[in-house]
Structure 1
Amino acid sequence: MQKVAIIASGENIDSAYKVLNIANAAATMDVQVIVFCTFGGLQMLFKDPQYPMIPLLEPFQDRLKDIPTVKELRESAMEMGVTFIACQMTMDLMGISADDLVDGITTAGATAFMEEALDADSTITF
């Protein structure tokens, strides 16, 4: 089985959509997907992720109602077996607890992610 490792660090909604779109696409192709969320990328793991509208997407705001939300895309990815790892160091730094995140999220450090990434066929960063 092929494996892709994704680093999610962007804090904006467009970053979350990029990560989750790639993760879902890979999972539908029977690719093992590991997503390491750090800094702004942790937002997508919150129980109710909140993103401010960014200028890039303002002209398309009406169309956003026709696509799945970040929460829906995350749930879809998790249902297909995508593994999400929340960076423990970043959580400690930002005062985020595991209770702030949805169930099923692994918390670990960069070393745990690197073990996965070194075994991956490709690594993608957003």
Structure 2
Amino acid sequence: ASIVHKETVKKDERPRVAGAYLNRLAQGISLQADPTVIYALKLQSNDFKQVIKRVLFADLSINSPYNTYVYAGLPPGPIAMPDISAIDAVLNPEKHNFIFFCASVDRFGYHEFASSYAEHQVNAKRYADWINSTGTTR
């Protein structure tokens, strides 16, 4: 629930995000959740006040049990205090076939979901092109 909470601020999207993460777990796919990488970076630097707007490719290899790109399954503990909407989303996830998602460039705060890696690559490239155009480096 803490990962779902940190993944999206949009409460109406949390059941869909929860469903995607649960689909990944059920299929034995790593969560690859950026919020866990952000938490690992903050934990390593002991600076939880820092603002990280962009996860870099190099960040994905940080050696931390909280890094769900490196370690399979759930991290050893919560990465935040989830609110009731995130807890409810995990207890009542949306049923779908999505296993991939990335931030939307059309609907700020929301995500684009995909069932196949090819679909996800299109969404991810669109997001990468957009964020590169903003000059956001961290």
Please, what TM-score do these two structures have when normalized by structure 2? 0.25
Please, what TM-score do these two structures have when normalized by structure 1? 0.26
Asked which structure has the greater RCO (Cα within 8 Å, sep 6+), the reply is 1
